[in-house]
């Protein structure tokens, strides 16, 4: 029996499936993606069942910790079986998305796995949801699904950041989870933050480069002032003085990942008093105008350019 059929036939409580999936991802990434997509769908179904059960009382005369424990096991197995049947179609959609990323990668090893990982949910749960039983082997389904993300991330600095985006859609896919997190810290809609990164980086194609040619991941063109303690890179850029464009060399911050860039950007907007009016902006045009008024850039048409991306069709279609 092959690894693939072993996993397909295994029970949700079988922890051996975690190791089997890791082995499958290494030996046959395409087949591993298919199996992992089913696991993600099973996790989703399990959460649905948990929510449904939460609407009914489980404190009856015949209810106790043991019955709730085995009910959780039953729900997990039912979710696993439903996912294998393919009746929902969620697994197929996820498989198609991840397979497309895999097919579009020319590298091998960590490069190809990083490309797939860029399409995975950033908040993939790595532990069993509360209330479904946490002892013994019933974390098997979660463990097998989490194995995909763990394997994809291994051997790379940041999953997804090693593959340069070729289209606005690919760019949005890579940065969206980071934009959502930055949105939580600033109160600014994530699509506004993505649009700002797209303006500064040309949808990821004009990423500022370090001296050795590697990516600085500086998506927002943030310069390195005297207080900056991290890595830097010197780049020839265009600045405007009295409305006149001039070329000059500036020192910019360099990050290890897009995630670090978004985090630093969010900190800048949140902690610097000059951007106080920018925080919490809910209108795209107003957000762009306030950024320019705060002195984010010297380009006199900066707000106009940013607003056109926020309200334009390219970003809508990419999302």
Which positions are annotated as active-site residues?
239, 264
> What does the block give as tokens for 315?
């970003």
- For residue 212, give every residue at least 6 positions away whose Cβ sits within 8 Å of its Cβ, in sequence order, or none: none
Q: Which two tokens stand for residue 142?
A: 């979660």
Question: Which of 86, 109, 108, 111 is closest to 96 using CA atoms?
Answer: 86
- Residue labelled with tokens 């769908």: 41
**With contact defined as beta carbons under 8 Å apart, do 141 and 39 qualify?**
yes
């Amino acid at each position: 029996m092959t690894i693939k059929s072993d996993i397909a036939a295994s029970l949700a409580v079988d922890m051996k499936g975690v190791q089997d999936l890791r082995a499958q991802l290494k030996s046959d990434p395409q087949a591993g993606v298919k199996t992992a997509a089913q696991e993600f769908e099973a996790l989703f179904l399990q959460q649905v069942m948990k929510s449904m059960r939460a609407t009914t009382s489980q404190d009856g005369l015949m209810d106790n910790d043991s019955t709730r424990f085995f009910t959780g096991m039953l729900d997990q197995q039912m979710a696993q079986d439903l996912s294998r049947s393919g009746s929902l179609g969620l697994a197929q959609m996820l498989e198609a998305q991840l397979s497309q990323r895999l097919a579009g990668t020319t590298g091998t090893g960590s490069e190809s796995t990083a490309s797939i990982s860029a399409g995975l949910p950033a908040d993939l749960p790595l532990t069993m949801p509360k209330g479904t039983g946490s002892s013994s082997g019933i974390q098997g389904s979660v463990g097998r699904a989490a194995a995909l993300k763990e394997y994809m991330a291994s051997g790379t600095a940041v999953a997804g950041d090693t593959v340069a985006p070729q289209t606005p859609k690919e760019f949005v896919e890579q940065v969206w989870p980071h934009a959502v997190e930055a949105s939580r810290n600033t109160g600014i809609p994530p699509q506004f933050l993505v649009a700002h990164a797209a303006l500064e980086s040309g949808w990821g194609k004009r990423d500022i480069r370090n001296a050795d040619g590697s990516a600085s991941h500086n998506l927002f063109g943030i310069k390195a002032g005297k207080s900056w303690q991290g890595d830097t890179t010197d780049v020839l850029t265009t600045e405007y003085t009295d409305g006149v464009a001039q070329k000059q060399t500036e020192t910019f911050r360099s990050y290890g990942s897009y995630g670090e860039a978004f985090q630093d950007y969010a900190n800048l907007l949140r902690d610097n008093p000059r951007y106080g009016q920018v925080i919490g902006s809910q209108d795209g045009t107003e957000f762009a105008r306030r950024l320019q008024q705060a002195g984010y850039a010297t380009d006199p048409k900066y707000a106009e350019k940013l607003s056109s991306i926020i309200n334009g069709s390219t970003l809508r279609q990419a999302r």
